[in-house]
Chain A
Amino acid sequence: MKKIGILVAIMIICFSCSKSSGTENEILTIEDLLVQNSEITGWSYSGVSWVASSISELTEYINGMAEIYQKHGFIEGAQRSYAGTIDGTSCAIQLIIYDMDTETNAEDMYNDPDLGLSSATVWTNGAGTECHYVRYGGLSQVMTFYSSTYFVYLYIDYDSDESLNILKQFALNVDGKIE
């Protein structure tokens, strides 16, 4: 009886260990970091999506722009596109997450002038370690941030305070998953 009790106790301990280690060791893929379908109310999957695990694959998807990412240590990336409505107008969002291998690389990517975002407005206390955005006069907006080893790019084909707010929601969603 005593031996059975010890055996049961050992089994319980082992089960608890495996359960907790399973939770601690849960690893999100880069696709898991993307905003999921309708996770943000009103925004569902629509259009181009891809996952790239090499520069060759990335080149297939973003062509010449892959050069910049290669320069900064690109490991893998994933894109999702979303459709929603703002002010009664159908809009599209592109979200791309790049794993740049190190936080330094991600920061360098964020600050690379070749992205053409040198005039961006910083979003103070926004997503990631640092985040900024550009508003293109009534046409579109781009927002980027970096967090951990990730560089995140967001684009929306609309420009209003509301569309900026939507981009911020997307950014915070992704940042939360990275953390």
Chain B
Amino acid sequence: MVDNKKETKKMDRRSFIKLASATGLAGMVAPIIGCGENPTSSDESSISSSSNNSVNQATAQAMIDAGIKNLTGLNDVGEAWKSIMPNLSATGIIAIKVNCRSSSLPTHPEVANAVVEGLVQMNFDGISFPENNIHIYDNFKAYFEASGYTLNSSSSGVRCYENNSYSSQNYSVNGTSQNLATLITNTADYLINIAVLKNHNSMAGVTLCMKNHFGSCASPRSMHVNYGDPYIGALNALSPIKTKQCINIIDAIYGAAEGGPYGGPTFIANKILMSQDVVAIDYLGRKMLEEQNSSTVSWATYIDSAADYGIGTNDPTRMEFINITNPSGTAEITSTPASSGITACKVAIIEDENASA
């Protein structure tokens, strides 16, 4: 998926994907999805319009790998990923929902690529998980491309495409009728959610993992009331999402404390959050934005309501925190048990100052 012509374009502070031989990272496979400069939605310029909030691919890889290993307690990346998808086979399908609603601050392709790199290390009786069985999706093609992703719907390579197919089944979400992407309802065996750390100035207060699924349904606008409370939680409690979503990730290398969801980054956090608990991870994302004095976090009561749907916990005393710093160098790992003595979930907070290139 990497376009070598684009790789030889001028180097600047943007993070370009480098082949393993150039970086000296022996054993790291060539990037699977295109990053850095990419075709734009118009043909009038060959220069990408993606943002300057660049990410170091190697560091993102180290962060994701450290996160999944420490969350699962397994030292092999492939085995760690496999352990959270117990019924997956070599013919299974994994869908990855990214958030490219704003090309100024999207789920960075480098972070998605790091997840993909881990997934293809899963081994099924000698067969590596096929990259073509990985479907990265969002729902607006132009922004997807402008965010640095290379779209691919072919039978080879990681699939990366705009979803515009919805199931005919109507799901009730707190009184609204929603049709979910057929990728979730029919096709995928497992779902990975990779959101961005952003506030939401016009409605929800924050837009994190749970809100990411507004891009998985056909009529999200009908849920844009009461700051999305309790619609966002109710949406994530729908069976196809709740049962298939095996892990949630917040790309918090950059964040937007104001101007979201459409604006660009307003601060650098150099973090990635990972958890199987979608409420817990959104709780922490909201907390990070609150620490940046975001003016809209108080609107995001949907996170607390979501806990009532049995999809996770908003109680920090029941969260075990795994703090990982500097995974691209000499990693320091500390685990803080749930202060209440009752562990409802684990959350990995991975920080590396080399993440923002």
Contacts and interface: CB of A to CB of B under 8 A. Distances in A.
A137 B204 contact: no
B201 A114 contact: yes
Interface string A84-110: 000011111010000000000000000
B144 to A, nearest CB: 10
A88 B13 CA distance: 9
B290 to A, nearest CB: 14
Q: Which 3 A-B pairs rank lowest in CB-CB distance, beginning with the nearest? A: A47-B49, A116-B258, A46-B45
Contacts of A134: 258-259
Nearest to A56: B221
A155 B52 CA distance: 12
Interface stretch (A8-16, A24-32, A59-67, A166-174): A59-67
Contact of B48 (A47, A66, A94, A155): A47
Interface of B: 10, 12-14, 37, 40-42, 44-45, 47-53, 101, 103-104, 140, 142-143, 146, 199-204, 207, 214, 220-221, 224, 254, 258-268, 295-296
Contact of B44 (A46, A88, A136, A142): A46
Contacts of A155: 104, 263-264
A121 interface: no
Give the size range of A's interface with the partner: 35 or more
B263 A142 contact: yes
Given A67-B203, A68-B202, A44 B44 contact: yes
Given A64-B224, A88-B12, A47 B40 contact: yes
Contacts of B261: 63-65
Contacts of A114: 201-202, 296
B140 A60 contact: yes
Task: Label chain B's interface by main secondary structure.
Answer: loop
B200 A139 contact: no
A47 B104 CA distance: 11
A97 B136 CA distance: 32
B227 to A, nearest CB: 10
A115 B201 CA distance: 6
Contact of B51 (A92, A113, A115, A137): A92
B188 to A, nearest CB: 23
Contact of B45 (A48, A83, A113): A83
A141 B124 CA distance: 48
A136 B265 contact: yes
Interface string A74-89: 0000000111000011
A82 B101 CA distance: 18
B146 A48 contact: yes
B201 A139 contact: no
A64 B49 contact: no
A129 interface: no
A117 to B, nearest CB: 8
29 contacts: A44-B45, A45-B45, A46-B44, A47-B49, A47-B50, A47-B142, A48-B40, A48-B49, A48-B103, A48-B142, A49-B142, A61-B140, A63-B101, A63-B220, A64-B204, A66-B202, A67-B203, A68-B202, A90-B48, A92-B48, A115-B259, A116-B296, A136-B264, A136-B267, A139-B254, A139-B264, A139-B265, A139-B267, A140-B104
Interface string A153-166: 00101100000000
A73 B104 CA distance: 26
A74 to B, nearest CB: 12
A37 interface: yes
B265 A140 contact: yes
Contacts of B41: 47-49
A18 interface: no
Contacts of B221: 59
